[in-house]
């Protein structure tokens, strides 16, 4: 018998809305053939697919990181404004960038989809001055060269972009213009200085390690923060999971354990720098790329569309089009729980990505759209993981996984306005009984939604609803204790109300 105890007095921290952000990069079919397809039957007057916009809008994505990713580090934002749009080779992903979608088009689409934009400035080939000009173009009201150019290009009011990334994954040699920690730290500091002189209200994200697998991790994070600690508000973390060598499904579903350790190490590293600089500020974490990503064929996900395929130098080639199954969705549910369980430090996040590229939403050029299995745990988090995060104390059978000892059951809980949202992962291959207790309130169950299925079941255009969450009957009686039966291999959201 497993046990979960929740006490609303035991608060971890506030769950910021922006932790449930997402990411759209000029990569593969994320933009061209994803959100943007002028010839599509549902296209709006601006060439964006109405069917995709509707899904994003209903999902309620608070913030979308743009325009990359690795693409960013070779991108000149000036190519994406005004009338003359050059076609460029995108060296990051080996595809052709027509620049039909640029800053105006994307920001206005995001607004129609109900999302804010988290803009990224190129610190690969880009300079601090170009970053400052970009901020002036987006945020300065009028009367300067770049703000007036924006107005001339059709946008009178500033875009008012409040959150900015200082480059992308600058620790990796795959990055265009890769830098050492000292070089990047200095460049990020100079850029932050100029950007804040243009707009002192922006929130800045500095690049932390692109993965805990990097040889420079976590030294990179400490060195970069030494240069930028007082300039920035967040340090970024990126993390993708797949099957490790010799790893199995249970291991992948246990990725939350590794994710939690990564978050804690970056927090500790930032705190070490805080102490050495005698700073009063606590650094926030922005996990602005997280997901499951299979870069090698696994099970049903046979064609992973790596970047060396026949579509090279075309617009919107297939890149990283993973097909996600139930195992992937449960793994992602575990990552959602780890984010909630670290709500005191994780204040921003982006599921990478949103459409077609390692994405919960998949489109067919000229055709339909469907939701992958991973859409659902993400959507449950966006809709219900809000307010404050509470400690969900779990007592469960220990089990070994490649990340060390973990438990078969993993959970996280939020509390908002008298309502609890409890997210529970059952990694066991059996139904499991679980005793749930609310230590300081009597509550009634409001809803119970389960996502489960065969471990390798997946959705596709022919079977878009093979894996969808099921709503189960709820116990209406108010109480402090509940007996739950959790389906094998499942991600469950239980909602309870105090009133």
**Interacting residues toward ligand AHR by CB under 6 A:** 25, 27, 68-70, 168-169, 289, 352-353
List 25, 97, 169, 450, catalytic entry: 169
Q: How far is the CB of 27 from ligand AHR (least distance, A)?
A: 6
Q: How far is the CB of 86 from ligand AHR (least distance, A)?
A: 22
Q: Which residue has the tokens 């969705």?
A: 329
Q: How far is the CB of 407 from ligand AHR (least distance, A)?
A: 30
Q: Report the DSSP beta bridge partners of residue 497.
A: 419, 444
Q: 242 vs 353, which CB is nearer to ligand AHR?
A: 353
Q: 355 vs 392, which CB is nearer to ligand AHR?
A: 355
Q: How far is the CB of 260 from ligand AHR (least distance, A)?
A: 21
**Position with the least CB separation from ligand AHR:** 69
Q: How far is the CB of 382 from ligand AHR (least distance, A)?
A: 19
Q: 293 vs 403, which CB is nearer to ligand AHR?
A: 293
Q: 27 vs 123, which CB is nearer to ligand AHR?
A: 27
Measured in degrees and rounded to the nearest 5, phi and psi for residue 449 equal -125, 125
448: enclosing H helix or E strand: strand 444-452
Bridge pairing between strands 369-371 and 361-363: antiparallel
Cβ neighbours for 495, distance < 8 A, ≥ 6 positions apart: 384, 419, 420, 421, 422, 445, 446, 447, 448
Q: How far apart are alpha carbons 370 and 373 in whole angstroms?
A: 10
Burial class (CB within 10 angstroms; exposed 0-12, middle 13-18, buried 19+) of 192: buried
Residue 430, Cβ neighbours under 10 Å: how many? 11
Q: 169 vs 258, which CB is nearer to ligand AHR?
A: 169
- Reading the block at residue 387, the tokens are 């307010």
Helical segments of 342-477, H only: 375-384
416: enclosing H helix or E strand: strand 409-416
Nearest to 319 by CA among 358, 354, 290: 358
Q: Which residue has the tokens 């243009």?
A: 198
Q: Report the DSSP beta bridge partners of residue 394.
A: 4
Q: How far apart are alpha carbons 35 and 433 in whole angstroms?
A: 43
134: enclosing H helix or E strand: helix 128-139
Q: How far is the CB of 238 from ligand AHR (least distance, A)?
A: 6
List 25, 289, 432, 450, catalytic entry: 289
Q: How far is the CB of 240 from ligand AHR (least distance, A)?
A: 7
Q: How far apart are alpha carbons 377 and 28 in whole angstroms?
A: 24
Q: 232 vs 352, which CB is nearer to ligand AHR?
A: 352
* 9 is an active site residue: no
* 477 is an active site residue: no
Report yes or no: 31 and 24 within 8 Å, Cβ to Cβ: yes
Q: 22 vs 414, which CB is nearer to ligand AHR?
A: 22
Catalytic residues: 169, 289
């Amino acid at each position: 018998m497993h046990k979960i105890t929740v006490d609303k007095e035991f608060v971890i921290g506030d769950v910021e809305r922006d932790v449930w952000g997402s990411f759209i990069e000029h990569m593969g079919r994320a933009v061209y053939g994803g959100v943007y397809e002028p010839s599509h039957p549902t296209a709006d007057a601006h060439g964006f697919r109405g069917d995709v916009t509707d899904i994003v809008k209903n999902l309620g994505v608070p913030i979308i990181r743009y325009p990359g990713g690795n693409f960013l580090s070779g991108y000149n934002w000036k190519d994406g404004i005004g009338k003359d749009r050059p076609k460029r080779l995108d060296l990051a992903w080996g595809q052709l960038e027509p620049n039909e979608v640029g800053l105006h088009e994307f920001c206005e689409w995001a607004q129609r989809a109900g999302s804010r934009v988290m803009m990224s400035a190129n610190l690969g080939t880009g300079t601090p001055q170009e970053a400052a000009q970009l901020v002036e173009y987006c945020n300065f009201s009028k009367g300067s060269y770049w703000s007036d150019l924006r107005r001339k290009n059709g946008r009178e009011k500033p875009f008012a972009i409040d959150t900015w990334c200082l480059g992308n994954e600058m620790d990796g040699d795959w990055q265009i213009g890769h830098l050492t920690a000292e070089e990047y730290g200095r460049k990020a500091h100079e850029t932050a200085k100029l950007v804040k002189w243009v707009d002192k209200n922006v929130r800045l994200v500095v690049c932390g390690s692109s993965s805990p697998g990097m040889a420079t991790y976590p030294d990179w994070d400490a060195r970069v923060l030494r240069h930028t600690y007082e300039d920035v508000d967040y340090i970024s973390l990126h993390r993708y999971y797949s099957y490790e060598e010799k790893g199995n499904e249970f291991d992948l579903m246990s990725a939350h354990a590794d994710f939690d350790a990564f978050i804690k190490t970056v927090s500790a590293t930032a705190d070490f720098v805080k102490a050495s600089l005698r700073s009063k500020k606590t650094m926030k974490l922005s996990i602005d790329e997280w997901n499951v990503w299979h870069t090698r064929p696994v099970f049903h996900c046979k064609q992973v569309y790596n970047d060396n395929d026949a579509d090279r130098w075309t617009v919107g080639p297939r890149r990283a089009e993973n097909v996600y199954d139930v195992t992937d969705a449960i793994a992602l549910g575990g990552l959602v729980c780890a984010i909630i369980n670290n709500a005191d430090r994780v204040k921003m996040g982006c599921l990478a990505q949103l459409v077609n590229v390692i994405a919960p939403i998949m489109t067919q050029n000229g055709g339909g759209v469907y939701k992958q299995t991973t859409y659902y745990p993400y959507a449950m988090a966006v809709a219900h993981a809000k307010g404050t995060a509470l400690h969900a104390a779990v007592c469960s059978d220990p089990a070994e996984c490649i990340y060390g000892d973990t438990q078969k059951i993993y959970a996280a809980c939020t509390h908002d306005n008298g309502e609890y949202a409890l997210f529970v992962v059952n990694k066991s291959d059996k139904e499991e009984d679980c005793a749930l207790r609310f230590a300081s309130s009597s509550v009634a169950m409001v809803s119970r939604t389960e996502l489960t299925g065969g471990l390798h079941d997946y959705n596709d255009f022919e079977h878009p609803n093979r894996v969808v969450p099921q709503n189960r009957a709820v116990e209406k009686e108010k109480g402090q204790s509940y007996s739950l039966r959790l389906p094998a291999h499942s991600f469950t959201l239980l909602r309870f109300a105090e009133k």
